[in-house]
Amino acid sequence: MQIFKYIQDLQDYLNQNTNKTIGFVPTMGALHEGHLSLIEASNRQCDITICSIFVNPVQFNRQNDFDNYPKTFTSDSKKLITAKCDVLFCPSVNEMYPVKVEKYFEFGPMAELMEGRHRPGHFNGVAIVIERFFEIIDPDYAYFGEKDFQQLAVVKDLCKQIGSKTQIIGAPIIRESSGLAMSSRNLRLSEDEKIAAANISEELKYICNNAGKYSIDELLNNYKKNIDANTYLVTEYIEIADGNTMLPIRNWEDSNYLVVFTAVNVGEVRLIDNMTIIN
């Protein structure tokens, strides 16, 4: 695997491989099987897979979250070699943003609700970094996990807005055997917190299995009651929304693409998860 820190070196490599299909997997490191599933998807579809590791400061709205974001570079690069990733691109903040970026994108409700409401500026920061990566790499395909469901929708919209040729591919959430959605932030959980956090997916499953049997309000209230009853967990939001628009749904008949979304604080750590109820 080739490792590049500088844009020029990566672009020199790309210029020697202009006849190859390029797949791109952007990450913030602390890699787990969720990330590696994206590398595998790219390897299946593309000649060359490029993974980036870059903890993007402009998408964090809490300094504390940015400062404490796990950094495990040595084990990340080993995992990428084992996964047969071709290129690791790990630029510095100065390399990515030599001048401060002041740019404002408009995505409407999909970026204003749920994660957008609770993390002001987050999706704008995601759009800034993805536009920058696409400008540098110009990949044929880019792979994103459904774990960050709203992000996937925002990135698809971004591609339309900037007229990018890159095809955005979504990939299913990879979970621990306990059901807990894999996340780099899980590294910050104690053993007890990790056990508690497995309740999130259990409660989401309960909602999926009981859709239509109870009202939406009953299921959302029940989720909040059960999650908040656990000493380690505090619900930030729980919402059933249309999977295309992200607009909240109040009646089961209002859409035939329903996804349940949640964010839960586990001590200092904020986790998100979602499950498709019907599509």
The set of residues, in sequence order, having a beta carbon less than 8 Å from that of 167 and lying 6+ positions away, is: 140, 141, 142
* Collapsed DSSP state (helix, strand, coil) of residue 87: strand
**Cα–Cα dist 183/198, whole Å:** 12
Pair 85, 208: CB distance under 8 Å: no
What part of residues 8-37 is at the interface with ligand AMP (CB under 6 A)? 27-28, 34-35, 37
54 binds ligand AMP (CB under 6 A): no
Binding residues for ligand AMP, total number by CB under 6 A: 17
Q: Which residue has the tokens 């844009």?
A: 7
Pair 25, 133: CB distance under 8 Å: no
184 binds ligand AMP (CB under 6 A): yes
DSSP E strands in 205-246: the ranges are 233-242
266 binds ligand AMP (CB under 6 A): no
166 binds ligand AMP (CB under 6 A): no
148 binds ligand AMP (CB under 6 A): yes
Pair 203, 175: CB distance under 8 Å: no
147 binds ligand AMP (CB under 6 A): yes
The set of residues, in sequence order, having a beta carbon less than 8 Å from that of 183 and lying 6+ positions away, is: 32, 34, 147, 271, 272
The residues carrying an active-site annotation are 35
Of the pair 125, 219, the CB lying nearest ligand AMP is at 125
For ligand AMP, the nearest residue by Cβ is 145
Of the pair 255, 274, the CB lying nearest ligand AMP is at 274
182 binds ligand AMP (CB under 6 A): yes
Point out which span in 16-24, 71-79, 180-188, 230-238 binds ligand AMP (CB under 6 A): 180-188
Dihedrals φ, ψ of 79, to 5°?
A: -60, -40
Point out which span in 10-18, 41-49, 142-150, 237-245 binds ligand AMP (CB under 6 A): 142-150
Can you give the binding site for ligand AMP, defined by CB under 6 A?
A: 27-28, 34-35, 37-38, 144-145, 147-148, 171, 173-174, 181-184
